[in-house]
């Protein structure tokens, strides 16, 4: 499939200013996702968290406690981690395009 061209022969697409703006916005979103992911991971209790973890057993804690939001936190962690990977890949792709436009 041939690339669309303008009458002047230039290829349609974003110019350098648009790419730099998009890259900056994506960087800010990536930083927010990074901080969110760090906070979500720190909020999660370990496998033997709580008072039962001090004495080496976690079974009693699970037996007598009410259901918690562990499943929700896990799902949020997965979604935020996927967003982190996506923004990382997009930033990598955009940075190569920006660097190529600087060289040319």
pLDDT band at 59 (very low <50, low <70, confident <90, very high): low
Decide: helix, strand or coil at residue 4: coil
Higher pLDDT, residue 99 or 54 = 99
Is the separation of the CB atoms in 17 and 85 below 8 Å?
no
Q: What is the pLDDT of residues 6-19, one digit of tens each?
A: 444 445 455 777 78
Is the separation of the CB atoms in 14 and 22 below 8 Å?
yes
Quote the pLDDT of residue 55: 58
Q: Distance between CA atoms of 65 and 90, rounded to whole angstroms? A: 43
Predicted confidence (pLDDT) at residue 76 exceeds the cutoff of 80:
yes
Q: Distance between CA atoms of 100 and 3, rounded to whole angstroms? A: 18
Name the residue ranges covered by the structural domains of the chain: 16-42+68-103
Is the separation of the CB atoms in 48 and 84 below 8 Å?
no
The reported pTM is 0.63
Quote the pLDDT of residue 16: 72
Is the separation of the CB atoms in 46 and 53 below 8 Å?
yes
């Amino acid at each position: 499939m041939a690339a669309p061209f303008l009458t002047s022969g230039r290829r349609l697409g974003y110019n350098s200013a648009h790419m730099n703006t998009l890259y900056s916005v994506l960087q800010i979103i990536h930083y927010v996702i990074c901080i969110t992911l760090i906070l979500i991971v720190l909020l999660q209790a370990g496998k033997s968290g709580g008072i039962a973890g001090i004495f080496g057993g976690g079974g009693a804690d699970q037996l007598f406690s009410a259901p918690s939001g562990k499943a929700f936190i896990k799902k949020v962690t997965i979604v935020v981690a996927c967003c982190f990977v996506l923004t990382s890949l997009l930033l990598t792709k955009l940075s190569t395009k920006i660097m190529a436009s600087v060289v040319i």
